[in-house]
A and B are shown apart, each in its own frame.
Chain A
């Protein structure tokens, strides 16, 4: 069964460094999402992406964040200058259409030191 995959599973970085989190959505899916979960807190929406543009973003998704679909398979989340408070689990998800079930990846744990 097709799955959403994410790499790396764990990323450790120094404050102020740039990180890129990678996701491979399910191949026939058209909508892509990033969510994050700070340890012990709820899962929060960051951004949705369709047809090579952002369709919705939360207030968390400020100028330090960007998303890109550089090729036909990858979907990336870039944080330009990481802060301590960016430490969280980042989940990628995808769906065939906007109203369909969102399938989640296993997550990338980002630790900012």
Chain B
């Protein structure tokens, strides 16, 4: 069974600084997807960024980027130029490459990110 581990229950960062959230996972699959979801206080989860395991290039979305280390099964999220609106719970998630009946997301326990003005 796949597992996702987020070892940092809470993190804080000064506004405009950079912060990195850690995630490790365990799987026997060679191809899969990894995600970072953001859950603001309103509690609706929003996809921040997605990485496909077969792609060596790290995904980037504006101020958000990932450091994907497939051999180490590590998938960290870097937030640059942190803004107050980045304050949220961040979940790392895993999903196998699609096959019918195997679309579920497996989530980590989350990291609560606080932005210090």
Contact = CB atoms under 8 A, between A and B. Distances in A.
A107 B44 contact: yes
Chain B contact-residue range equals 20 to 34
B101 A42 contact: no
Chain A contact-residue range equals 20 to 34
Given A41-B109, A43-B91, A55 B101 contact: yes
A75 interface: no
Contact of B98 (A58, A97, A101): A97
A104 B45 contact: yes
B42 A48 contact: no
Contacts of B103: 31, 33, 48, 55-56, 95, 98-99, 102
B55 interface: no
A108 B103 CA distance: 22
Interface in B5-54: 33, 37, 42-47, 50
Given A42-B110, A43-B107, A44-B107, A105 B44 contact: yes
A79 interface: no
5 contacts: A43-B110, A99-B33, A99-B103, A101-B47, A103-B47
Interface of B: 33, 37, 42-47, 50, 91, 97-110
Q: Which 4 A-B pairs have the closest CB atoms?
A: A99-B98, A98-B103, A45-B104, A104-B45
